[in-house]
Structure 1
Amino acid sequence: MTLNLSMPGHEDLRPRITVFGVGGAGGNAVNNMIEKKLDGVEFVVANTDAQALAQSAATNRIQMGVKVTEGLGAGARAAVGAAAAEESIEEIVDHLAGAHMCFITAGMGGGTGTGAAPIIAQAARELGVLTVGVVTKPFQF
């Protein structure tokens, strides 16, 4: 019987970090991070709005809720955003698999970020991925 032991390469020892931009605000945040050349993370943008998703600089994109929204967005309804994330949960989990840490960025003023971000966070938790939410909340001037 032969036992083959090897040390992992340096690349294997690096933490795998995923940044999930959810909805319009999350997509904008990811675009800014990509523009600033943030390195060492995998960017994923998830949106219900097909036009906004097409504008993303991220290579990993999830069109959430094709059946629920038909690519037209959540219409500022959080329940629609949540339903869209539930519909696309398998694709979301595929992007979370293997990550050590996940940052979820979203705006809490519309439907997609408000509704879908908690669903994505729950999926990450179930996979044992350390998760941090970075969100904005609208305010009046």
Structure 2
Amino acid sequence: MRKHAGEVGRYIVNGLVATAVHYSVLMANLELLDFQSAGVANFVAALFGIMVSYFGSRYFVFKNTVESIISQASKFGILYGLIAILHGFVLFVWADWYAFSYSTGFLIATVLQVSLSYLGNKFLVFKK
């Protein structure tokens, strides 16, 4: 039980760091680089968050480096690619179609992302 709690704690820390990177790049894309679409800006930002999340998951959260980095990265990439599409779609609908705050849309999309990514990583990508 303690191992599982530690894993969840590390997952939360890793997720917060990856989310901070993702959100920072999103803000930079919209505020500094003047992206016209929050959905496109989010897709680009997601790539940065995904990279941080992968390395954190491999070496810090699940500590599973037995499988080759290429194999794990491929599975992780597919999982996160699908999650990024969902995340981007939610933000696109929320901010671009309905003109609601992209920050609130980001939060809603991230709640979905967190749930799906933990389950996918634990049982598909980094399973032991």
Q: TM-score, normalised by structure 2?
A: 0.32
Look at both structures and tell me which one has the larger radius of gyration over its CA atoms.
1
Q: TM-score, normalised by structure 1?
A: 0.30
